[in-house]
Amino acid sequence: MPLRINDEAPNFTAETTQGPITFHDWIGNGWAILFSHPKDFTPVCTTELGYMAGLKNEFDKRNCKIIGLSVDPVDDHSRWAKDIEETQGHAVTYPMIGDPELKVAKLYDMLPADAGDTSKGRTAATNATVRTVFLVGPDKKIKMSLTYPMSTGRNFDEVLRVLDSVQLTARHQVATPVNWKQGEDVIIVPAVSDDDAKKKFPDGWKTVKPYLRIVPQPRD
């Protein structure tokens, strides 16, 4: 069965460019982004991992670790990281998982079940489904998942935006509207009655419809 939002993120042990990890232990009490790419030494993936390296400090500020994955071995990751830094201007300082036996890729339904047992002989084209993103919360549950086609580089600014939204809505009984960005108005969720909303939002709100109540973003 495919993984869904609020499913527990499967735990695993794996080799990475920063040594062996057990995923749940590695996450600890914070948040995590697990993102995969089709193959090392390919053009779109090079731009993606370089951009993510440039965003790492932003994820750090939000207590969110990031970790990459592909079915290439760790040694290939380490060699490719030099190309990423050279061409994209950012050194990859987050760990990258080597998954040549496809264990994690299958565990997270990133590849077809009949994908074989190793990455040997596989190309970027046969790894087309491995361009996914999972956001995992401190409770080790999946909060968001994305899957992109092989020809389309991901928008990691959007991943950061989703993280901001999910962290905000975990702390307050609000939701974020279309194209919301940090600091903009939010929506009081329908489960909160007007009476309860008066206690939570004493400065009031704008009622567009009874089910659509707009309020400034709460401050922690």
Residue 91 corresponds to which tokens in the numbers above?
Answer: 């050194």
Helix (H, G, I), strand (E, B) or coil at 152: coil
Any bridge partners for residue 65, and if so which? 32
Helix (H, G, I), strand (E, B) or coil at 99: coil
Catalytic, out of 9, 32, 33, 45? 45
Residue 139 corresponds to which tokens in the numbers above?
Answer: 């409770």
Residue 38 corresponds to which tokens in the numbers above?
Answer: 């089709």
Whole-number Cα distances in Å, 184 to 58, 166, 187, 216: 18, 14, 10, 7
User: Token pair 């760790």 is at which residue?
Assistant: 74
Burial 61-85 (b: 16+ CB within 10 A, else e): eeebbbbbbbbbbbebbeebbeebb
Whole-number Cα distances in Å, 64 to 122, 167, 178, 203: 31, 10, 23, 32
Say whether 64 is catalytic: no
- Integer Cα distance of 64 and 29 in angstroms: 10
Q: Which residues are catalytic?
A: 45
